[in-house]
Copies of this chain bind each other. A is one copy, B any other.
């Protein structure tokens, strides 16, 4: 079968691989729709070290092709969403309430890390009963693929922020994860959401997803702007959705004593992430810091799909581009260049014969 792989650090391409087989608890699916994630671009450039012919991708929905003997919940032909994170549910970390850390730190992250990813004609799913979910009839594949990572991760950012009902929250950066953190804040009952972003179509989408105020860091220190907006009080919670030490520091600065900083950004560079000592109340101001990796699991997927089923959220505003599987390399290049107002590129595995390139201008709700 065709698989889109990282041949080595910095080099992508298609490889011919064997169709994976399903062990007794596993499934094999045929992807129908996928999304390209910035983390795959990091992987490609060596963030997790050298890999050889590793299939990329971890955000897909598809059709079940085969299931193992001990799989009870699914059968061939089912339309399913697969978690980007596929934990080992019997592991000690999962028993401890941290399935995404199963067996080792970030151990639930298997695709395009410790096993082949999902950008291939077929993909393998471990513990299928526990790690995938049937897609409701009135939910499209394009909608559903957003639950696998973007919604699960972004919403987690808001859940970990422990936003009080009617409380205030600042969300730093409005990429797809930040946008979903903004929407997550709405779904947690935030009373005021301040989004920090400078790119105009992202600002517009932030408003679409519920931001009340936009702070453009190109127009001045975002900390000062947020303190001004809140009459010097700061916010109940801040969400870091970029992954730099600088924005992390700003999160601590704008959070009031007793508030929460929720980190959801992937910190890819530097030896340290810095806590500003005085703004942190010399370690005694009760500004707690939470972190997390995308929650997986059938239950999580079902609950997120339920939000789509009842139109509580429409993630497809983030689909700015569409490509066929054959064109996927273009999608990767675009994700890397961040040109063309890219937010998310949808990969359509079913449109094979003719090449196709459709640019979506960001679709903002009026």
Contacts and interface: CB of A to CB of B under 8 A. Distances in A.
B283 A266 contact: yes
Contacts of A293: 281, 284-286
A285 B89 contact: no
Given A97-B258, A272-B275, A192 B310 contact: yes
Contacts of A93: 257-258
A362 interface: no
A303 B165 CA distance: 7
A291 B299 contact: no
A175 interface: no
A277 interface: yes
Interface stretch (A52-60, A100-108, A219-227): A100-108
Contact of A277 (B90, B127, B184, B267): B267
A189 B187 contact: yes
Contact of A96 (B129, B164, B189, B285): B164
A304 interface: yes
Nearest to A294: B284
A273 B280 contact: yes
Contacts of A218: none
Interface string A15-40: 00000000010000000000000000
A191 interface: yes
Contacts of A306: 166, 168, 191-192
A212 interface: yes
A175 B282 CA distance: 18
B291 A283 contact: yes
A167 B243 CA distance: 30
A271 B292 CA distance: 26
A166 B280 contact: no
Contacts of A189: 155, 184, 187-189, 307, 312
A93 to B, nearest CB: 6
A291 B300 contact: no
Nearest to A299: B95
Interface in A282-333: 282-293, 297-300, 302-307, 309-310, 312
A268 interface: yes
B273 A277 contact: yes
Interface in A118-171: 127, 129-130, 155, 159, 164-168
A317 B323 CA distance: 47
Given A90-B127, A191-B306, A297-B95, A266 B292 contact: no
B164 A298 contact: no
A192 B198 CA distance: 35
Closest 8 CB pairs of A and B: A166-B303, A90-B130, A98-B258, A191-B306, A187-B189, A101-B257, A105-B257, A284-B293
Given A266-B283, A270-B277, 12 more contacts: A101-B285, A101-B286, A107-B257, A155-B189, A165-B187, A248-B283, A267-B277, A272-B275, A272-B276, A273-B275, A284-B293, A286-B292
